[in-house]
A = this chain, B = another copy of it.
Amino acid sequence: METLSIGQYDLIYNAFSFGFATLAAATLFFWLGIGQVKQQYKTAMVVTGLVTFIAAYHYFRIGQSWSEAYVLAEGAYNATDKGFNSAYRYVDWLLTVPLLLVELILVMSLTRSETVSRATRLGLLALIMVALGYPGEVAESGSVRWIFGLLSMVPFLWIVYELYVGLGKAIESQPENARGLVKAARNVTVVSWFFYPIVYFAGAIGIEGATATVIVEVGYTIADLVAKAGFGVLIFLIAMRKSEEPDGQKRQTVPA
């Protein structure tokens, strides 16, 4: 039965609360910003807020589950029979990870057919990637964790390929004032997503017990905040920049 020190337990608890607060605030920030972007970027902002909303909900639940999973006795926290529900994370990712890629596609405002085909392909790959990770996450044996982890890397690398090669030309043809930000958003996606397999395999290379629990829970939380809230801020900035572009004549200059 796993035992955590009070400091370890509190660190994870506070990381979850921090996660909830950040994601809930980010959601409101994105949705309150909808009115500030042009028509064609509003759906991107809605979806950006949906991702952080879904994640905020799950962090709230994760925090509750955490409180019920351990009981304080004689100066340490001992795992209860109930256990911590790590499935919340995977349920979250099943929904949010495909949507994160949809955000990026939407804010690029490609042609309709290209939007549909790329969003569908990337979304499906993301779904498969998350689904393949789960059996490894809950496995008792390290080798099962390895097998599913490696399987899950296949769609992950395919996504990376799609983002760099498949979307390369579309990114180069973004308006100049937003191109750098679109590239940054793509890079943040890939870099922050690389953090997940690192945390995942930490459980497979022999790091065990309380230390592993701290690394996994705090690590996933940081990765989630960068990949969802941080990434979302980039999407918001892209939408704002692109909304400044003259749209035909839409914006008349007011004489001074």
- Which A residues contact B (CB, under 8 angstroms)? 10, 13-14, 17-18, 20-22, 24-25, 28-29, 31-36, 39, 42-43, 46-47, 49-50, 53-54, 57-58, 61, 72, 75, 81-82, 85, 87-88, 91-92, 94-95, 247-250, 254-256
Nearest-CB distance from A170 to chain B (Å)?
A: 21
Of the candidates B43, B87, B95, the one whose C-beta lies within 8 Å of that of A10 is B87
Residue of B whose beta carbon sits closest to that of A58: B21
List the number of copies, as a whole number.
Answer: 2
A57–B63 Cα gap in the complex (Å)? 14
Of the candidates B13, B33, B53, B256, the one whose C-beta lies within 8 Å of that of A46 is B33
Nearest-CB distance from A216 to chain B (Å)?
A: 19
B24 touches A57 (CB 8 A): yes
- With a cutoff of 8 Å between Cβ atoms, the chain B residues found around residue A92 in the complex are 21
A14 touches B91 (CB 8 A): yes
Known: A54-B21, A91-B17, A249-B256. Is A31-B32 also a contact (CB below 8 A)?
A: yes
Known: A54-B25, A91-B14, A94-B18. Is A39-B36 also a contact (CB below 8 A)?
A: yes
Nearest-CB distance from A150 to chain B (Å)?
A: 24
Known: A21-B95, A255-B248. Is A82-B72 also a contact (CB below 8 A)?
A: yes
- With a cutoff of 8 Å between Cβ atoms, the chain B residues found around residue A14 in the complex are 85, 87-88, 91
- With a cutoff of 8 Å between Cβ atoms, the chain B residues found around residue A22 in the complex are 95
- With a cutoff of 8 Å between Cβ atoms, the chain B residues found around residue A21 in the complex are 54, 57-58, 91-92, 95
- With a cutoff of 8 Å between Cβ atoms, the chain B residues found around residue A32 in the complex are 31, 34, 46, 49
Question: Which 6 A-B residue pairs are closest in the complex by CB-CB distance?
Answer: A248-B256, A14-B87, A32-B46, A18-B91, A25-B50, A25-B54
Known: A14-B87, A87-B10. Is A46-B58 also a contact (CB below 8 A)?
A: no
Nearest-CB distance from A75 to chain B (Å)?
A: 8
A24–B25 Cα gap in the complex (Å)? 13
- With a cutoff of 8 Å between Cβ atoms, the chain B residues found around residue A17 in the complex are 61, 88, 91
- With a cutoff of 8 Å between Cβ atoms, the chain B residues found around residue A58 in the complex are 21
- With a cutoff of 8 Å between Cβ atoms, the chain B residues found around residue A24 in the complex are 53, 57
